[in-house]
Structure 1
């Protein structure tokens, strides 16, 4: 098995596991929030969301961008200086521990001031409580990032996607059953974070991932911080980018319009779910190829992986783009159908983000963290400016256009920079053909202006579209050798006989 095939197999296996874990986490998280929203008043539910949002900002600052830097750095040290890996891990943990304690204190002391700024007195007590969870949350994220550097997904899925949301859901249910006060909800949140941290710590010691004496290497610490700081600012900018449209809609149009827009926005943000799942192992695996100077192998992995992600994402995008009204009605009801145009616009923006592939992470792999920060800064400033310009006149459609264009510009900048530095791009001929086929078919269906009363009426049309699409992909011979090898590996792993699929492939490909 060559380097490209091996890398693709490892990434694909990890992507599948992370995807399942993500679905579990999203489902349990949704249940927890639903229970809190139904049991407590809207004001109390709003206070809870504000407190968690502020805490998440503190976690982003406390981790210093290490969650994105450590997988790359560990993979590099494994290739170049394996004897220094323990120093790297120990130094990173010490830095995050101290920084998270400092910001936990800052958040505790500043809770009163923050509650005054946000005009919510209940937030004072809430922040003082959740601030205690900051070190546990930051260290959990850091340890999972360390496991990523070794190409492991178990810690992410078991503890971040299952243990934490499950324990949090159980504690929320217990709070409701025993009719505990709203204030105690935050202690339950703290307990869930603590339990996750303790369980993860026990596991990483059991597998000897942290089997070393604590030490602090000043040189490694400086290098890590210098490389990570742009990623820290990138994380903050991403946070700002995610919330700018909502906050500005609230400022210009009021809370009712914010509610309508937030029927479209969360749905559209599901489109990159396969792309986001692939990000977990990609940096560690591709960093090893880069450290060995295997740029052509990196390019091949990038192109094949991008094609897979596009093919998996196409059904999700098709539903939202072709039948946005039916999609919104199915999830949120008739009250939110005015977000139809916004959903279609956002879907285009996030699909463009998807079909260019993992350009940002690839830049991190080659050491271009500074450029990532610059491109995110440009995108964020553009997003703010366009929201100011478009929301007063076009309301939620203006916010959607601003977000879509900002993602478009940021991805173009990242892809151009990646090509300049490495000549890596996603557009192999066997990727361009499926792209062209999908654009033509989507355009044809859209030109029919089909009106479907519910999502169930859209299903037969979608099945027919996907059937024709994949037939044309096979007919155009857009399948690569690596695709077939992955199929055979899945067949072997699952212990099933994909006789029909192999027969089809032989007929159209070989």
Structure 2
């Protein structure tokens, strides 16, 4: 088995685990928010969301981009200079610990000013409690990023995706049942992150992940900060891209339109779930190939993985794009159906983000953190300009176009830079064929202007559509040997004989 196939199988296995953890995390997070929204007033729920938004911004700054840089840096030093790995980990922990404590103090002192900025005095008290979660959250993120550098996803899934959201949900539910005051929600948030951090430290120590002497290497620290700060600025620019449409809709058209738009946006943002899951395990495994100078193998991993991500995402995209009204109605109710055109536009933008693959993570692997910062900043500026130009005339559709366009720009720029530096691109012949088939089929179905009254009528149509699609993909012989190797590895791991499927595959490979 080739090195590319081995890397692909490890990425596929890790992606599956991370995807499961992400779904569990989303479930617990939804339950927690549902309890808060149900047992407290809408104003208090708004304060909760504002406090977490401020805390998320502080987290981006406190971590200095280490959460994205460390998986690559740890894998890089493990391959090139193993003796420096422990010093690198210690240095990262010390820097983030100090920085997060500083920002905790800054936010605590500035809570009153921040609350006046948002016009809600309740936010000051909330921030003065919840801010103490920042060091625990930041250090947890560092340890998880280090574990990813060792090719591990256990810490990510167990602690960040399961233990923390489960603890918070339980604390919130108990507090609501016992009728504790609203401030208890923020205390529960701090306690949940504190307990998660302690459990993670204990677990990591047992598996030798954190067994080192506390030290601060100025040389390693400078190199790490130099590489990661552009990623921090990228995160801030990405935050702008995420929230600009909502904020500017509120400025131009009011909160009712914001609510309508946010019936479409969260659904469209589900589309990159497989891409993001793969992105957590991709950098450290591919960094090894890059350090060894095996760009051909790295490119092969990129192409096959991109095809897998597209095929996994396509069913959800088809449902959203072909039947936007029933999809919105299912999640948010009939009163949000008028946001269907915006949902289709957003779905196209996020699907474009998906079908070009892990271009951003690949640029991180080859050390192009500065370029990622520039491309994201350019896209964020385009997002703001287009929102200002389009929202007054086209309402939520204008906001959706601005968001889709910004994702288009950043992905094209990143893909062009990746090709310029490495000649890596996603378009193998066996990927282009499924793309053409999908575009043609989607166009044909869309031209029929099918109107279905509910999601339960849409699903049978979608099943037939996807069955035809998969048959045409097989008929076009778009199966690669890596696809077959992955299938055989899954069969072996499950301990079952999938003979019928193997017979079918042999006819089309």
Which residue does the alignment assign to 2:158? Answer: 158
- Residues 237-316 of structure 1: matches in 2 within 5 Å? 237-316=237-316
Structure 1 portions without partners, runs of 5+ = none
Paired position in structure 2 for 1:210: 210
What are the within-5 Å matches in structure 2 for residues 110-259 of structure 1?
110-259=110-259
Partner of 1:17: 17
The number of equivalent residue pairs is 509
Show CA shifts across 1:4-40 (max 9, x none).
0110011000000000000000011001001100100
The alpha-carbon deviation at position 156 of structure 1 amounts to 0.3
Q: Kindly provide the CA deviation profile for residues 373-413 of structure 1, in whole angstroms up to 9, marking residues without a partner as x.
A: 00000000000000000001111000000000110011000
User: Contact conserved, 2:275 with 2:309, CA < 8 A, in 1?
Assistant: yes
TM-score normalised according to structure 2 size: 1.00
Q: Distance in 1 between matches of 2:254 and 2:423?
A: 47
2: distance between equivalents of 1:371 and 1:506?
43
C-alpha distance in 1, partners of 2:85/2:327? 48
1:26 aligns with 2:22: no
Give the 5 Å matches for 1:315-334: 315-334=315-334
Aligned to 1:409: 409
Distance apart, 1:496 and its partner CA: 1.3
**C-alpha offsets along residues 275-312 of structure 1, whole Å, 9 cap, x if unaligned?**
01000110000000000000000000000000000000
Report the counterpart of residue 79 of structure 2 in structure 1.
79
Map of 1:54 onto structure 2: 54
Match of 1:426 in 2: 426
CA distance in 2, matches of 1:427, 1:445: 25
- Aligned equivalents of 1:353 and 1:508: distance in 2? 29
Identify the residue that residue 480 of structure 1 maps to in structure 2: 480
Q: 1: CA distance between counterparts of 2:379 and 2:276? A: 19
Q: Aligned equivalents of 1:386 and 1:463: distance in 2?
A: 37
The alignment's C-alpha RMSD in Å is 0.5
In the aligned structure 1, how far is the partner of 2:249 from the partner of 2:284? 39
Whether contact under 8 Å (2:479, 2:508) holds in the other structure is no
Give the equivalent residue in structure 1 for 2:377. 377
Instruction: State the alpha-carbon separation in 2 of the partners of residues 339 and 190 from structure 1.
Output: 36
> Does the Cα contact within 8 Å between 2:257 and 2:396 map onto a contact in 1?
yes
Secondary structure of 1:18's aligned partner: helix
- In 2, the alpha carbon distance for the partners of 1:325 and 1:410 equals 29
User: Aligned partners of 2:496, 2:39: CA distance in 1, in Å?
Assistant: 47
Q: Distance in 2 between matches of 1:212 and 1:506?
A: 51
Superposed displacement of residue 368, structure 1 = 0.4
Q: Which residue of 2 is the match for residue 458 of structure 1?
A: 458
Partner of 2:68: 68
The alpha carbon displacement at 1:327 in A equals 0.4
Partners of 2:240 and 2:380 within 8 A in 1: yes
SS in 1 for 2:95: helix
* Runs of 4+ more than 2 Å apart: none
How big is the shift at 1:354?
Answer: 0.2
- Give the C-alpha shift of residue 195 in structure 1: 0.8
How far off its partner does 1:230 sit?
0.2
Secondary structure of 1:280 counterpart = helix
CA deviation vs aligned residue, 1:445-464 (integer Å, no higher than 9, x gap): 00000000001101111111
Contact 2:271/2:316 (<8 A) preserved: yes
